[in-house]
Structure 1
Amino acid sequence: MKITSIINGVEQTESNGETMAVRNPFTGELVAEMQLADEAQMEEAIENSVKAFNNTMKMMPAHERADILLRAAQLLEDKKEDFARVVAIEAGKPIKHSRAEIQRSIQVIRFSSELSKHMTGEVLPMDAALRGDQRMGMVKRVPMGVIGAITPFNFPLNLSLHKIAPAIAAGNTVIFKPAEKTPVSAYMLTKLFHEAGLPDGVLNLVLSTGKVAGSTLVPHKKVPKITFTGSLTVGKIIRDTAGFKKVTMELGSNSPNIVFEDAEIDDAVERLVNAAFGYSGQVCVSAQRIYVQEEVYDEFLMKYKEATEQLKIGDPLDEETDFGPMIDEDAAERIQEWVEEAREQGATIETGGERKGTIVYPTIITNVKKEMKVVTEEAFAPIVTVMPFRTEDEAIENTNDSIYGLQAGVFTKDISRAYRVADKLEMGGVWINEASVYRQDNYPYGGVKLSGLGREGVKYAIEEMTELKFIGVRL
């Protein structure tokens, strides 16, 4: 299978000759050959997006945008098994988790369809100010223009749609630059939107390297906004390159979870196994740090280890598989080195710690020091550290001792303590009696500190992809 960029609704058959292989992370088999776009094609896509915005989207009424999105959601519903299989093959995500991603993706498009018809403004009481009598003031939201959407491999459909669907709902056009590891689902998604009736040029797919996007898309004067999900390293480069344009970035994390002595231990264990090892830990809010109160530490660790060792590891296309490969062997080798480094520094590997090709077995690490890499940096891998604590203040201090602040989980039956701790945690979001990994698509999602800028979640993404415009009238 050969896939290409799609600009103005046309697949780009002319090539500079550079291609990239897309391989199944589990088997190593070739999934597709991707024809890479160069700077000239990126420039063409941007110019085309500007024209589509000025000639099409600016005049398209909200009900038409809503109908297109609704048709896209229905088409994705009809093709959900095809998309789930592609995500499983190109990303290595177990098929049951891939299906769950598709269902969330359908929901994101439907949310966007609904909210496209509710971009309300307000009428201001101008006479509240001196000299304001006999005047009327109105505030409305207007689309920004071309949105540059740079998306990751770990949720190749859902995280792409968290950028694309709100952008369309708000009346913008989109340059869609997906991760090099997972371009097939992006190619299928772009074709699906065209099938749903999205006019040519509104969604331009550019299959390029990060270097091309960084040199052409990010600093381009005709692209007023970049929305990016990915690593802290790349995020810093984008922030430095973007200049004065608006930027939304969801970056790294090493998400903490606190288990107090009165928590439902069995429930916490079940949720935190999924939180640490779902999709091999390649989730932005994957549980990497678990702090457990001393009174229940031994019980929790014993049950946690038992539950982890029951995960079924294997082929992502197997219906029973809980846990599959990492995205590639380089990622697997990197985290194996981290584990060995922690072991050499005195940590205990309670289970896992081994690698077979792209599979890193689910790994629980104890007896860690807070300065160890497995505690302080983002692993983005199937490893988790479990650490005891004595007091509530100690748990809060340890949790906040991080450059990251995306999302956390707190397990306790004491509602007063739950709210008290949640208020003190330096996080973009806190879940009570739920793991840090849980995310719905209709609340503001994003981090503080070095975990990012701005918020996603359909309503909040639309707000970040529009500008407030004031219109005043002297009566």
Structure 2
Amino acid sequence: MIKKWYINGEWREGTEYASLRAPYTGQVIAEIPQATKTDVEEAIQAAKRATGAMKELPAHKRATILGELIAQLKERHEELARTIALEAGKPLQAARGEVDRTIATYQFAQEEAKRIHGETIPLDAAIGGEGRVAYTTRQPIGVVAAITPFNFPANLVAHKVGPAIAAGNTIVLKPASQTPLSALLLAEMLDTTELPKGAFNVITGKGSVVGEELVKHPDVAGITFTGSPEVGIDLKQKAGLKRVTLELGANSAVIVDNTNITKEMVQRIVWGSYVNNGQVCVSVQRIYVHNDIYDIFKKMFTEEARKLVVGDALDEKTDISALISTSDVKRIDRWVQTAVSGGANIVLGGNMRNERIYEPTILENVNVEMEVSWQEIFGPVVVLHRFHDFKDAISHVNTSKYGLQAGVFTNNLTHAMEAAKHLEVGGVMINDVPTFRLDHMPYGGIKESGFGREGIKYAIEEMTELKLITFKW
């Protein structure tokens, strides 16, 4: 199946193509066009020409366009879910959940399109401000370049496209090389709406070509990127004065205080550790458990993790399927084996099922300097640690170079408040896992986990310019 990209409301052929393979089977599922700098330039200029039309669209019209998209997403729900499962190796049930969230994200964008407003400013609060009135407005910044990852190929696209349309911007979308099909499906849907031609463009190809051109191009006003810290930091350095929002990596932690362990709690932490094969920015990677309950927690956690079903992403019963690439499987196995060589114990798993699947794994007695502890695993591997003092647990969490989200399970209100105040992360989830995210929450991290915030209302603020107007009577 030969695919085309979408520029200026038209489907265009490429001159070069790359084979797209399903992570689980390795079979070729599509031929994807590979953009040149000339192709990227064409997409950017199409978006630039459409900025005037988008800026003039009233809020109710932008909301209507998003509503038309939402109706199609509901109608093509199963098609999109199966596309995600096929191209990303995401278990089908998780893919269906992603489509549900994608719809919710566009619904939030539809609502927020009608709520973009400023404020009045009492100028007479300052000497010389008498007889004046002032107010602010928010205006679209122009062309937004959206660069998205493979792990949530529909919903993380929605977190960029939704607020961009809501704010009246135009978009050039560069989806992850492994997951372009769901982005092209989105283009099919938007093509049938009343969105001005050129306002939404999808260009596929190598990051070194497409991404570089988008980041450096003078006609791109803003960049919204989700991906690795290395690429994100490099992008920010090259972007100059462009608006930049970065959602980067993590090795998120959970603290389990000396509290009553319930089956529901353990199941929740298992879900947060292994959902989407552990390929989630806020997936649980480190678990710090109070020494008094460590053994019983480890037993219950291991029993629940052992129940996870490994298999084909398109099988209804599958919990764990193929990772996005065979190189990631090898990398994870190398990190695990290095940890074991350094004295770590394998509680569960620790093996490659095959070259594409890594078994759900639990490690303990891991030195904090080992890669499985301080790097982002981005796979189905969890590390257990003991702690005696709650403040020490917070300190251990904070040693990470990342700071996206963290979770704390405790019945101690003082400990909950200490965690909320002292954990060095963008979001603290009390009595839940860091994997918890609703799509209207402000979402983003500190340190090497990112810059700026997503969540529709907050993304719109990143994608608009604040303008001040004053009147003198």
> TM over 0.5: same fold?
yes
Partner of 1:51: 49
Tell me the secondary structure at the aligned position of residue 41 of structure 1: helix
Q: In the alignment, residue 2 of structure 2 is paired with which amino acid?
A: K
User: Which amino acid counterpart does residue 448 of structure 1 have in structure 2?
Assistant: I
Provide the residue aligned with 2:8 in structure 1.
8
Q: Is 1:430–2:428 an aligned residue pair?
A: yes
Shift of 1:385: 0.3
Q: Which residue of 1 aligns with 2:364?
A: 366
**Is residue 147 of structure 2 the alignment partner of residue 150 of structure 1?**
yes
Q: Does 1:121 align with 2:118?
A: yes
Counterpart position of 2:174: 177
Which residue of structure 2 aligns with residue 330 of structure 1?
327
Residue 276 of structure 1, CA deviation: 1.0
- Aligned residue for 1:241? 238
Would the aligned equivalents of 2:65 and 2:195 in 1 still touch at CA under 8 Å? Answer: yes
* Deviation at residue 263 of structure 1 after TM alignment: 4.0
Q: Which amino acid aligns with 2:72?
A: L
How many Å separate the matches in 2 of 1:339 and 1:369? 12
Per-residue deviation, 1:32: 0.8
Contact 1:454 1:464 in 2 (8 A): yes
The percentage of counterpart residues that share the same residue type is: 45
Superimposed CA distance per residue, residues 7-56 of structure 1 (whole angstroms, 9 cap, x where no aligned partner): 0011112x33x2111111111111111011110010111111111002x1
* Aligned equivalent of 2:251: 254
* TM-score, L = length of structure 2: 0.99
1:103 aligns with 2:96: no
Amino acid of the residue matched to residue 451 of structure 2? L
In structure 2, distance between residues paired with 1:393 and 1:119: 42
The aligned residue for residue 217 of structure 2 is 220
Q: Structure 2 CA distance, aligned partners of 1:62 and 1:345?
A: 59
Cα distance in 1 between the residues matched to 2:81 and 2:263: 31
Contact 1:294 1:389 in 2 (8 A): yes
Q: Equivalents in 1 of 2:409, 2:180: separation in Å?
A: 38
Q: 2:269 aligns with which of 265, 272, 276?
A: 272
Task: State the partner residue of 2:290.
Answer: 293
SS in 2 for 1:167: helix
CA distance in 1, matches of 2:124, 2:282: 47
8 Å CA contact 2:174–2:211 kept in 1: the answer is no
Distance in 1 between the 2:195 and 2:349 partners?
Answer: 48
Partners of 1:139 and 1:198 lie apart in 2 by 27
Distance 1:357 1:208 in 2: 25
Match of 1:377 among 350, 369, 375: 375
> Would you say the 8 A contact 1:4–1:36 is kept in 2?
no
CA distance in structure 2 between the aligned counterparts of 1:57 and 1:77, rounded to whole angstroms: 25
Aligned to 2:31: 33
Q: Does 1:344 align with 2:367?
A: no
What one-letter code is carried by the residue in structure 2 that aligns with 1:383? V
Of 391, 403, 406 in structure 2, the residue corresponding to residue 405 of structure 1 is 403
> For residues 73 and 413 of structure 1, what CA distance do their matches in structure 2 show?
40
Cα RMSD between the aligned structures?
0.9
The 3-state SS of whatever aligns with 1:360 is coil
Contact 1:259 1:268 in 2 (8 A): no
TM-score by length of 1: 0.98
Whole-angstrom CA distance in 2 between matches of 1:169 and 1:247: 18
Inter-partner Cα distance in structure 2 for 1:252 and 1:189:
26
Describe how 1:413-428 pairs up with structure 2 within 5 A: 413-428=411-426
Distance 2:471 2:269 in 1: 56
Q: In structure 1, list runs of 5 or more residues that go unmatched.
A: none
Of 313, 317, 321, which aligns to 1:320? Answer: 317
Distance across 2 between alignment mates of 1:273 and 1:325: 18
